[in-house]
Amino acid sequence: MPLLLAPFINVFWMLFGAGIWYVIKLIGFGLVTYTGMNYATDTVLAYIKSNMTGIAPDILSILGLLGFDVAVNIIITVLSVRLLHMGISGGGSKTKVAWKKPADLNVTNGIFKA
């Protein structure tokens, strides 16, 4: 019986082996990325909270009314999404100059000189 299954297992592995390894790598990459980003955001938020303890209560209440905590969370979220986008799109290496300065033309006697 194992001799009959061996060719099928071999063919299955040849057809789907690369895909299976690709999915396993993606799961591992996603887990490492999530864990790293979670640790980084927790560290940044803990640093901000620890430095906010020395501020006077009046200023803290004003910052609370202004929505400072929401603003900090939005900034951290935007940075995380930007890092994710850079990772997906290849690290931002596909950017190029969108505008070039036009040549400085001098006009002398109706003749353009570059």
* pLDDT the model gives residue 110: 57
CB atoms near residue 44 (< 10 Å): 14
Digit-coded pLDDT (tens) for 38-68 = 888 888 888 888 888 888 889 989 988 999 8
Instruction: Output the pTM of the full model.
Output: 0.47
Give the span between the Cα atoms of 81 and 93, in whole angstroms. 17
Segments making up each domain of the chain, as ranges: 1-51, 57-114
Give long-range contacts, CB 8 A cutoff, 24+ apart: 21-26.
Answer: none
Chain-centroid distance, C-alpha 1: 50
Instruction: Pull the structure tokens for residue 36.
Output: 């790293």
Digit-coded pLDDT (tens) for 12-43 = 777 777 777 777 777 776 677 778 778 888 88
